[in-house]
Amino acid sequence: MDMTVKTVLITGASRGIGAETARIFAQAGANVALLARSQDAIAELAGEIGPKAIAIPCNVARISEVAAAVELTVQAFGSLDVLINNAGVLEPIAHIADVDPDAWAQVIDINVKGVFNGIRTVLPVMKAQGGGTVLTISSGAAHGPIEAWSHYCASKAAVNMLNRCLDKEEGEHGIRAIGLSPGTVATQMQRDIKASGINPISKLAWEDHIPADWPARCLLWMCGPEADRFCGDEISLRDEDIRRAVGLI
């Protein structure tokens, strides 16, 4: 995919999938807006990428901050063609009977409200341009219960349905809405899962996880016409046909 003159806004860009996605899209020629709460991390990444990147400190759970970030992105680059809803958290890993309610709710705020806030603020820009692409990180947790992950499972199930609703309402207006379920990825989140010692996922060996650039490369592929058939749906990176199409195997 050649993304020259295209602009991509990435939430949760400070590390893991988000940071690798920024690198991959910049290599493809895109302008990238890096959003995260970790100001130093995204500033360092923007410096690494160069003039095609801007770092915007942002808490995606606050729509005013997301709206300001979208405005800054458009001012800097003149357009906003792709939104990648990557920001997400899992901690605290805890059973329903024990979890702190405020901490549980904060996961919902980031994982669900953060995705909605991104979609809601980019839609006017994208529709005025004649269309755009919204890619959202989903999870196998959207489709099955996992012990001590009630907040994460609930949030990812909600995000999956939000993606489908976006396609239903805005597909005819040129908005491509696709989810990506990457499987387990070698990031800090997996280290936190490992440390918890709860549920089978924490027992996986590190080599069982895919590298963070795999979902990043898949997200780039999803911006092209080959992925149009998945609009309103979710792509699983566990699927060997998808891995082959992306060029991972």
The whole-number mean pLDDT for each consecutive block of 10 residues of the chain, a chain of 249 residues, reads 95 96 97 96 97 97 98 97 96 95 97 98 97 96 93 96 98 97 84 85 80 94 97 95 94
**At which residue do the structure tokens 């400190």 appear?**
57
What's the chain's length in residues? 249
Q: Is 215 within the bounds of a domain? A: yes
In 3D space, the residue among 104, 238, 58, 86 whose CA is nearest the CA of residue 159 turns out to be 86
Burial class of residue 11 in the structure, from the number of CB atoms within 10 Å of its CB (0-12 exposed, 13-18 middle, 19+ buried): buried
In a domain, 221, yes or no: yes
Burial (CB count <10 Å: 0-12, 13-18, 19+), residue 142: buried
CATH number for position 155: 3.40.50.720
- The answer as to whether 13 is a domain residue is yes
Q: Could you tell me the two tokens for 101?
A: 């309610």
- Answer yes or no: are the C-beta atoms of 148 and 193 closer than 8 Å: no
Partners of 235 in beta bridges: 180
State the catalytic residue, choosing from 85, 152, 185, 222.
152
Residue pair 87/60 in contact by the 8 Å Cβ criterion? yes
- Are residues 242 and 235 in contact, defined by beta-carbon separation less than 8 angstroms? yes
Does any domain span residue 97? yes
Identify whether 249 is part of a domain.
no
Q: Check if 105 is active-site.
A: no
pLDDT at 204: 79
Our measurement of the distance from residue 41's CA atom to the centroid of its chain's CA atoms, rounded to an integer in Å, reads 17
Lookup result for tokens 């549980």: 104
Which residues form the domain of 236?
7-243
- Distance, in Å, from the CA atom of 36 to the CA atom of 18, rounded to the nearest integer, reads 9
pTM of the model: 0.94
Are residues 58 and 71 in contact, defined by beta-carbon separation less than 8 angstroms? no
Beta strands in 91-203 (DSSP E): 132-137, 175-181
248 is a domain residue = no
User: Could you give the number of structural domains in the chain?
Assistant: 1
136 falls within a domain: yes
Residue 183 is assigned to a structural domain of this protein: yes
pLDDT of residue 67: 98
